[in-house]
Structures are given as structure tokens and as C-alpha cells.
A = this chain, B = another copy of it.
Amino acid sequence: MAEAANGDGNAKTMTIIVTKGTLDWAYPPFILATTAAAMGVEVTMFFTFYGLSLLQKKLDLQVSPLGNPAMKMPMMGMHMGMPNIVAMLPGVEAGATAMMKNMIKNKGVASVEELREAAIEADVKIIACQMTMDLFELKTEDMIPGVALGGAATYMEKALASDINLYI
């Protein structure tokens, strides 16, 4: 694609640092990565901190309305937030997660698993932060295949040569 090639004939490149591991924040990095890849951009995703949970074989992502007064779900024609005193009750986080998953499915939006699969098929490069892996005692065998390990220096080398660098 014309837009995705720079002056010297090389493809455009993008890096994304992925630090969040909740259901809602799993979407932006995978949507941007798959869209960019479809446009011919070479994408490297660097997963670190809570973002590493997005690489687990079996995803168990949740969303929390607690402390996020901007989260207002459409319900019965209105947009409702949830008081914190309700949101902190056991089961409510699971309920909000189920509600958001339902909403995503009903609107025909892809699941995180599907987007992740699409990213891998589009040759998006997946790097897991070695330091966080050690810190949180995470193992590559619990993760999807094709994950490379790297550190901040690995990221920096890619980012210095990239057209777009985002921290999510």
C-alpha cells in the first residue's frame, strides 16, 4: 500500500507497548495492530506488566467499573454508571464482565482471542518483557506459541526505527 511505504522503499513500522490486562483495554492494542498490519505496516507489540496476561493460552479477562466513573453501559435505553459501593460487591465485576462480553458479541465485534489470532496470522511480532515474566513468575509454556522474549533495549531498537510508537 502506498501510504505504508516510506521514501527508501521500506515498509512503515509501528511499535505498541501493551501494559494493561483488562477486557476493555485489551481491545485498543489488538485493533490498532491488526488494522496497521492490514495496511502493510510492520507491527511489533511489546507486552509488559499486566499486559502479559493477554498472552496466556487461556484468556480470563475481566473488566471493573470500580474507580472508573466514565464507564457507563447502555441499559434499557439509558447509559448507567455503577456506584462504587455496588461495584465492589463480590460478583459484580464478573457481572460487568459478562455484560460487556455480551454487548461485544451482540454488536458483532470480534473477541480478544479472535483479534489476537488475527494479529499472529498477519505476522505481528509479539515480544514478552523478560523482566516482568521473572517478577510475576510467568512462564512461556503458559503462553501462546510464537512469543519472543526481550527487554527494554529490544523495544528501544525497534522504536527508534519506527514511524509510530504508542504506549497503551
Contact = CB atoms under 8 A, between A and B. Distances in A.
A96 to B, nearest CB: 10
Size band of the A side of the interface? 35 or more
Contact of A70 (B20, B35, B70, B89): B20
A67 B73 CA distance: 17
Given A24-B49, A41-B160, A167-B166, A69 B62 contact: yes
Interface of A: 3-4, 12, 17, 19-22, 24, 27-28, 31-32, 35-36, 38-39, 41, 48-50, 53, 61-74, 79, 83-85, 87-90, 92-93, 103-104, 107, 109, 131, 134-137, 151-153, 155-157, 159-161, 163-168
A104 B35 CA distance: 36
Contacts of A69: 22, 62-64, 93
